[in-house]
C-alpha cells in the first residue's frame, strides 16, 4: 500500500479520521524532535548563537534556529496533507511560509531592518489573502458590519495577517511562552474546525501544535541542548496562526452546528478569545509606548512576561501562568456564549482585556519599585 498515493491517503483519512488526526500530531512531534538536535549540532559547530542585549531575559548565548526544523516539518506535512484537499490552499501556504522563513532566517543570521521584515510579511500575506478558500465577504454583523466590499476584504485580511505575525513575534520573549501560547491557539482552532466539519484545517492545527510540543523540550533545556525558535520560527508560526484565524473568520460550517460560539456575530468574539494573550500583550505595550511619547514599535520591557519576570516568576511559571489565562478565557467564552447574549459576551470580553491590562500595569509599578529598592537599599 502506497500511503503517498492520493486515493490511498484519502481513503485512510476518511475511514480513520480521529486516528489520522492523532497520527499527524504525533508525526509532527516526532519529526521535530528528531530534527531539532541536528539543527542544534550545526549551530554549535558553526557558532551560530543569539547575542545577548539589554532586553534579553537570558544570560548565555543560545542557538536560535528552531525555525529551520519548523519549516522542514511544515513543508513536508502540508505537502502530504494537500492530497486530501481539493483546492490549492496548501500551495499558497507553503509559498508564503517559504518567503517568511527566508526573511526570518536572514534576521537570525545578520539582522534585518524593520522595513525588510514588513515587506516580507506583506508579500507573504498576498499568497493567502487571494486564496479562494479565504474569501471574506462579511463580518457577520460585528460592530454593525455585514457585507464587506471585495477590495476592503483584501485589506482587512492583509492587515490581520501582518498584525498577527507581529503579535506572535512579540510574545516570543521568554522560554516556553510562544510555544505554549501557540499550542493553545492551534489546538483551540483544531477543535473549532473539528466541530464545524473542516478536517483539512484540523490537521494543519494539530501539525503546528505537535511541532511546538516537541520544541518545548529544547526551549526549556539547559546547556547545549537549549534552543530558541528565532525569527525564522516565530514568523512562520505567526503566519500559520494568521492563516487558521482567517479560515475561522470566513468559514461556513461543513456540518450542522447549533453552538452559539460559532454563530455569525460570536465568530469574531471567538477569535478574540482564542488570541487573547497576543492581542492583550501587543495592544497594551503599544498603548503604553504612545502614552510615554515613544514610537509604538520601539522595543522595551513592558510586555506581560517581563512584568512577571521582574516580580520574581521563573520562565516556566510566567509562561504557564499566561498560557493558563488564555485557556481560562477560551473556556469562559464557550460557557458564556451558550447562556447569555452576544452583546454581554462582548462587554465581558472587553472588560477582561481592560482589567487584566490594568492589573499588569499595577504589577509593573510594583516590579519597578522592587527593582529600585534592590538597587538603592
Of these ranges, 78-87, 139-148, 318-327, 331-340, the one predicted with the greatest mean pLDDT is 318-327
In the prediction, which pLDDT does 255 show?
47
In the prediction, which pLDDT does 373 show?
44
Please choose, from the candidates 200, 199, 188, 196, the residue with its C-alpha nearest in 3D space to the C-alpha of residue 256: 196
In the prediction, which pLDDT does 371 show?
60
Residues 167, 203, 28, 107, CA torsion sign: negative
With 60 as the cut, is the pLDDT of residue 56 above it? no
In the prediction, which pLDDT does 363 show?
86
Q: Which of 19-33, 45-59, 175-189, 353-367 has the lowest mean pLDDT?
A: 45-59
All cell numbers assigned to 246: 482567517
Encode pLDDT of 163-190 as tens digits: 999 999 999 989 999 999 999 999 999 9
Between 19 and 207, whose confidence is greater? 207
Q: DSSP of 54-105, one letter per residue?
A: TT-S-SS-B---HHHHHHHHHHHHHHHHGGG-SSSHHHHHHHHHHHHHHHHH
**Hey, which residues does 62 pair with through a beta bridge?**
50
Please choose, from the candidates 117, 218, 226, 219, the residue with its C-alpha nearest in 3D space to the C-alpha of residue 173: 219
Q: Which of 24-28, 90-94, 194-198, 203-207 has the lowest mean pLDDT?
A: 194-198
Between 285 and 342, whose confidence is greater? 285
Looking up cell 495592544 gives 283
- Mapped onto helix, strand or coil, the DSSP state of residue 108 is helix
The average confidence (pLDDT) of the chain is 87
Encode pLDDT of 305-352 as tens digits: 999 998 889 999 999 999 999 999 999 999 898 888 888 999 999 999
In the prediction, which pLDDT does 377 show?
46
All cell numbers assigned to 157: 485580511
61: left (phi over 0), alpha (psi -120 to 50) or beta: beta
Q: How confident is the model at residue 259 (pLDDT cuts 50, 70, 90)?
A: low
What phi and psi, each to the nearest 5 degrees, are found at residue 138? Answer: -155, 155
With 50 as the cut, is the pLDDT of residue 256 above it? no
Q: DSSP of 221-270, one letter per residue?
A: --GGG----HHHHHHHHHHHHHHHHHHHHH---SS----GGGSHHHHHHH
Helix axis angle for 66-81 and 89-110, nearest 10°, is 170
Q: Which of 14-18, 76-80, 142-146, 230-234 has the lowest mean pLDDT?
A: 142-146
Between 10 and 338, whose confidence is greater? 338
Cβ–Cβ under 8 Å, residues 179 and 219: yes
18 contacts: CB under 8 Å, gap ≥ 6: none
How much is the pTM?
0.91
In the prediction, which pLDDT does 6 show?
62
What phi and psi, each to the nearest 5 degrees, are found at residue 328? Answer: -60, -45
How far apart are alpha carbons 286 and 296 in whole angstroms?
Answer: 5
Q: Which of 67-76, 179-188, 235-244, 334-343 has the lowest mean pLDDT?
A: 334-343
Amino acid at each position: 500500500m502506497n500511503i503517498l498515493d492520493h486515493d490511498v491517503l484519502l481513503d485512510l483519512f476518511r475511514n480513520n479520521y480521529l486516528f489520522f488526526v492523532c497520527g499527524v500530531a504525533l508525526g509532527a512531534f516526532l519529526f521535530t524532535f528528531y530534527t531539532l538536535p541536528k539543527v542544534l549540532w550545526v549551530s554549535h559547530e558553526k557558532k551560530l548563537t543569539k547575542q545577548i542585549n539589554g532586553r534579553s531575559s537570558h544570560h548565555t548565548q543560545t542557538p536560535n534556529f528552531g525555525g529551520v526544523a519548523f519549516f522542514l516539518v511544515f513543508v513536508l506535512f502540508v505537502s502530504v496533507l494537500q492530497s486530501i484537499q481539493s483546492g490549492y490552499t496548501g500551495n499558497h501556504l507553503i509559498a508564503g511560509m517559504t518567503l517568511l522563513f527566508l526573511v526570518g532566517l536572514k534576521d537570525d543570521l545578520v539582522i534585518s531592518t524593520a522595513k525588510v521584515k514588513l515587506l516580507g510579511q506583506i508579500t507573504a500575506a498576498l499568497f493567502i489573502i487571494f486564496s479562494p478558500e479565504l474569501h471574506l465577504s462579511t463580518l457577520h454583523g460585528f460592530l454593525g458590519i455585514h457585507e464587506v466590499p471585495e477590495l476592503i476584504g483584501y485589506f482587512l485580511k492583509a492587515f490581520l495577517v501582518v498584525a498577527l505575525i507581529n503579535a506572535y513575534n512579540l510574545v516570543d520573549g521568554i522560554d516556553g511562552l510562544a510555544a505554549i501560547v501557540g499550542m493553545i491557539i492551534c489546538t483551540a482552532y483544531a477543535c473549532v474546525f473539528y466541530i464545524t466539519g473542516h478536517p483539512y484545517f484540523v490537521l494543519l492545527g494539530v501539525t503546528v501544535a505537535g511541532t511546538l510540543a516537541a520544541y518545548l523540550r529544547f526551549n526549556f533545556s539547559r546547556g547545549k541542548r537549549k534552543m530558541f525558535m528565532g525569527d525564522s520560527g516565530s514568523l512562520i508560526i505567526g503566519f500559520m496562526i494568521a492563516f487558521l484565524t482567517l479560515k475561522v473568520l470566513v468559514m461556513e460550517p461543513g456540518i450542522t452546528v447549533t453552538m452559539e460560539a460559532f454563530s455569525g456575530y460570536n465568530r469574531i468574539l471567538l477569535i478574540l478569545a482564542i488570541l487573547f494573550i497576543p492581542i492583550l500583550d501587543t495592544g497594551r505595550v503599544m498603548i503604553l509606548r504612545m502614552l510615554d511619547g515613544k514610537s509604538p514599535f520601539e522595543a522595551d520591557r513592558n510586555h506581560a512576561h517581563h512584568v512577571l519576570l521582574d516580580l520574581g516568576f521563573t520562565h516556566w511559571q510566567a509562561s504557564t501562568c499566561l498560557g493558563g489565562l488564555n485557556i481560562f478565557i477560551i473556556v469562559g467564552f464557550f460557557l458564556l456564549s451558550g447562556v447569555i447574549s452576544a452583546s454581554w459576551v462582548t462587554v465581558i470580553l472587553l472588560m477582561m482585556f481592560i482589567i487584566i491590562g490594568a492589573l499588569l500595569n499595577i504589577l509593573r509599578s510594583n516590579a519597578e519599585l522592587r527593582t529600585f529598592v534592590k538597587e538603592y537599599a
